[in-house]
């Protein structure tokens, strides 16, 4: 469970799961997460002074953040890693050089991020707030959630792709790391 909150104005229940590896990548492999959550915002009912006197329902945020690795046709977990994890000196020394190992590092990055960084809090809604305050609270929450997942992705790129023989080098040269085992 990543976030849970139940009260008169909130119904929040967000969890995460790792699903089995699959197929369908365009090339190589990719481990990604999907924000399989959805929010529903209550309709504010303001008085003539634009202050909310009641909400038509609750703010709901439910669903599952799903993490999965998918491989392209003809590629599997035993394929050699072309960049990033699987190419560092310690990875080579330990023979952790496969694409499956590389992708498991992304998976571990995402799990660690979810454990170390709490999802953004849902918007603070209250009777008596103005409609403008309500709109700002909803907008701020959505921006924070977007930024949260962007930061989660960026941290994984830094930890798993931009180490050893870096992905940025691979993109620039289109040359994969050449494995030479001890």
- pLDDT tens for residues 12-56? 999 999 999 999 999 999 999 999 999 999 999 999 999 999 999
Which domain covers residue 59, as residue numbers? 3-173
Whole-number Å distance between alpha carbons of 156 and 33: 11
User: What's the mean pLDDT when you consider all of the chain?
Assistant: 97
- Name the residue among 43, 77, 41 with its Cα closest to residue 61: 41
- Is 141 part of a structural domain of the chain? yes
Q: What is the pTM of this model?
A: 0.94
Residue 79: CB partners within 8 Å, gap ≥ 6? 28, 29, 98, 99, 100
Res. 181: pLDDT tops 90: no
**How many Cα neighbours within 13 Å face the side chain of 8?**
5
pLDDT tens string 100-140: 999 999 999 999 999 999 999 999 999 999 999 999 999 99
pLDDT of res. 118 = 97
pLDDT of res. 182 = 66
Number of domains in the chain: 1
What percentage of the chain has pLDDT greater than the value 70? 99
Res. 96: pLDDT tops 70: yes
pLDDT of res. 166 = 98
Residue 31: CB partners within 8 Å, gap ≥ 6? 67, 68, 69, 70, 103, 104, 106, 107, 110
What angle in degrees, to the nearest 10, is found between the helix axes of 131-156 and 99-116? 150
Whole-number Å distance between alpha carbons of 16 and 49: 42
Whole-number Å distance between alpha carbons of 179 and 80: 8
- Is 181 part of a structural domain of the chain? no
- Is 180 part of a structural domain of the chain? no
- Is 74 part of a structural domain of the chain? yes
Q: Which two tokens stand for residue 71?
A: 């491989």
pLDDT of res. 79 = 96
Residue 180's pLDDT band (boundaries 50, 70, 90)?
A: confident
- Is 158 part of a structural domain of the chain? yes
Could you count the other beta carbons within 10 Å of the beta carbon of residue 146? 12
Res. 58: pLDDT tops 70: yes
């Amino acid at each position: 469970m990543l976030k849970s909150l139940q009260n008169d104005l909130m119904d929040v229940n967000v969890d995460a799961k790792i699903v089995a590896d699959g197929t369908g990548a365009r090339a190589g492999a990719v481990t990604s997460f999907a924000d399989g959550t959805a929010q529903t915002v209550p309709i504010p009912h303001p008085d003539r002074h634009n202050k909310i006197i009641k909400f038509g329902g609750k703010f709901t945020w439910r669903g599952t953040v799903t993490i999965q690795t998918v491989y392209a046709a003809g590629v599997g977990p035993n394929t050699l890693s072309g960049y990033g994890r699987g190419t560092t000196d310690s990875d080579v020394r330990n023979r952790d050089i496969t694409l499956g190992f590389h992708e498991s590092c992304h998976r571990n990055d995402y799990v660690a991020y979810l454990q170390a960084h709490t999802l953004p809090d849902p918007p603070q809604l209250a009777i008596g707030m103005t409609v403008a305050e309500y709109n700002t609270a909803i907008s701020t929450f959505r921006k924070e959630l977007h930024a949260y997942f962007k930061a989660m992705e960026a941290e994984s790129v830094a930890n798993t792709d931009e180490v050893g023989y870096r992905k940025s080098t691979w993109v620039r040269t289109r040359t994969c790391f050449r494995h030479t085992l001890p």
